[in-house]
Amino acid sequence: MRDARGRAGTSVPLFGLVALASFGGVAAALVSQHVYAMEPCPWCVLQRLIFLVIGAVALLGLLWPGRAGRRLAAAVALLLAVSGLAAALWQHFVSAASASCHLTLADRIVSGLGLDSLLPDVFMPRASCADAAVDLLGVPYAFWAAALFVLCAVAMLRALSLRG
């Protein structure tokens, strides 16, 4: 990114975009759950958590005054986005074929953090992975999440490559 004078752009707008996309993704998932009765499985809930952490890290990157801090935030958000992509792909290709996702890694992380009892409307898995394998506009929901994780990862890679 270059401005009108040809100077290298900053990564700050990318952090704002990633925070907005991450929080927006969780908001869409909550609307799907509470308005359209699309109940989440443990892998869905884990992806919500990852999106929320990516959003929080992106906000830190947005507010951090120094380049080193923004680079650290971009690197952490990038790693989280890759983790989220892996979770979405695992959900679609492995867990959705299983009758139960009880005691999977996702289930253990969510219950181990106590988020399911702290904020059950957001973090309580209410469906099996097979039951939660639904489509939105003909595309599996897990692929929508995967695409958003990829966009976040690409934005954070770009943020790492910029000077400011």
Q: Tokens for 21, please give them.
A: 């996309």
**C-alpha dist (Å) from residue 133 to 45, 61, 77, 116, 138:** 13, 34, 26, 20, 12
Confidence at 65, pLDDT banded by 50, 70, 90: confident
Mean of pLDDT values over 47-51: 97
Assess contact for 48 and 132: CB atoms under 8 A.
Answer: no
Q: Where are the beta strands (DSSP E) in 68-118?
A: none
pLDDT single digits (tens) 96-128: 777 666 678 888 898 899 999 999 999 998 888
Residue 78 has pLDDT above 90, yes or no: yes
pLDDT single digits (tens) 128-146: 877 777 777 888 889 999 9
Residue 93 has pLDDT above 50, yes or no: yes
pLDDT at 66: 85
Residue extents of the structural domains in the chain: 12-161
Mean of pLDDT values over 67-96: 93
What lies within 8 Å, CB to CB, of 78 at 6+ separation is 153, 156, 157, 160
pLDDT at 9: 62
CATH class of the domain defined by 12-161:
mainly alpha
What lies within 8 Å, CB to CB, of 125 at 6+ separation is 40, 41, 42, 44, 45, 101, 107, 110, 116
